[in-house]
Structure 1
Amino acid sequence: MVRTETPWGPWEPETPAEVARRFAGVPTPWWIAGGYAIELAVGRAVRDHADVDVLLLRRDQLAAQRALAGWEWWAADPPGTLRRWAPGELLPAPVHDVWCRPGPAEPWRVQLMLDEAVGETWISRRDPGVRLPLAALGRRTPTGVPYLTPEAQLYYKAAVPRPKDERDFAAALPHLTPPQRAWLSRAIARTRPAHPWRARLAAT
């Protein structure tokens, strides 16, 4: 965990274990996402983290307000402003990030990410043609912490890979099964057929 300054105040993210305790009573699916999801998949630390991401389905978004009752919730309205997320308000499709903190004088602790689903199928917010059964979207650590499956997380990271995304990909690659590699390669190819990760995914 690192402290990161932003124009809207500092970040001091909770750990995945702390998040899991807060969300333990949530009856709807949720997953640790982002770089921490990669670390949970590979079973070791990979790098420092400026935030912690929690993925929920848009249809279940109000469950996060109940899990973080008493906190401040600020929706990231495109193209890059924060506004209060009112209790009971359903955020529309263009809004998929929410910053959360215990109070106005506290650092940001948790970032919520909202994704789409129809029935029992997850649909990528970036490309509705990229899908996974909800049952295949996540896994759990031995202690029960749910996290986003690495191929789905790496699909998002592949869009414009930053140095930290390259590190996450390199760490996860040896742990991906042939079906996971094939799915990720197909998903990336829909928009970037010549993406450099595809050659590495094909290597054995």
Structure 2
Amino acid sequence: MSADVLGRWVPDRPEDVAAIFAKADFRWWIAGGYAIELAVGRELRAHGDLDVLVLRHDQARLRDLLADWDLYVADPPGQGELRPWSPGELLRPPLHDIWCRRTPEAPWSVQLMLDEAEGTQWVSRRTPAIRLPIDQLGRTSETGIPYLAPEVQLFYKAKATRGKDETDFEAVLPLLDASARAWLAEAINVIAPDHPWLRRLLPVSRT
């Protein structure tokens, strides 16, 4: 989506989001490139936006938390079109992408992503075969900020890898333990069996 058409972005920082979500009575995680930076503990690059992942079944409480914000949903997803997210409206798949700004005159500062869940399992909105216990979906930074597990974030980045995604992969790969590498290899193998990252993960990913 073009910022020229939909308005400019001045993304919040993870600590800003943590302050906003301090009263949240649901789980949330910093996602995207900032999640990778929270995992490695240092800045890697500039960011055009800031992503926050929330489970779809918590969307009503999320909407209430941000009741004073100006919220728009990408509808249809990925087509460069936004419409207001009305109070009380429940967003159903495939709608998952919400742009947030504090007032209609302010720049966009947070992008919310709704993901699926079944019972205690997170389910990838892209490929339902990819799952993980919700309790393993995130980590917490040294400053107490929840962020998406790097192997899950890399799975999302693997679909259409860009230069910044390669930067993130190289930075966080040494921090992935054997279990995380195995999960990521299996997940990527489902969506992109010829992906070059597989050669950097585990030999079992090619069997």
What TM-score bracket applies, with the shorter chain setting the length? over 0.9
Equivalent AA in structure 1 for residue 188 of structure 2: I
Aligned to 1:46: 44
> What's 1:88 paired with?
88
1:19 matches 2:26: no
Instruction: Tell me the secondary structure at the aligned position of residue 6 of structure 1.
Output: helix
CA displacement at 1:105 relative to structure 2 = 0.9
1:163 paired to 2:163: yes
Partner of 2:60: 62
| Partner residue in 2 for 1:30 | 28
Select the structure that is richer in helix. 2
Query: Helix, strand or coil for the counterpart of 1:83?
Result: strand
Q: Distance in 1 between matches of 2:41 and 2:180?
A: 17
CA-CA distance at 1:183 after TM superposition:
0.5
TM-score by length of 1: 0.95
Shift of 1:103: 1.0
Aligned length: 200
Counterpart for residue 128 of structure 1: 128
**What is aligned with 1:199?**
199
In structure 2, the gaps of 5 or more residues are none
Q: Distance in 1 between matches of 2:145 and 2:60?
A: 20
Question: Which residue is 1:9 aligned to?
Answer: 7
Residue type of the alignment partner of 1:152: V
Opposite residue 72 of structure 2, the aligned amino acid is: W
* TM-score w.r.t. length of structure 2: 0.93
- Counting aligned pairs with the same residue, the percent is 56
- Aligned AA (1:124): S
Return structure 1 stretches of 4+ with deviation > 6 angstroms: none
Instruction: Quote the Cα distance in structure 2 between the aligned partners of 1:115 and 1:69.
Output: 20
Structure 1: distance between partners of 2:165 and 2:130: 20
What is the CA RMSD across the aligned residues, in angstroms? 1.2
Q: Give the Cα–Cα distance (whole angstroms) in 2 for the partners of residues 170 and 56 of structure 1.
A: 26
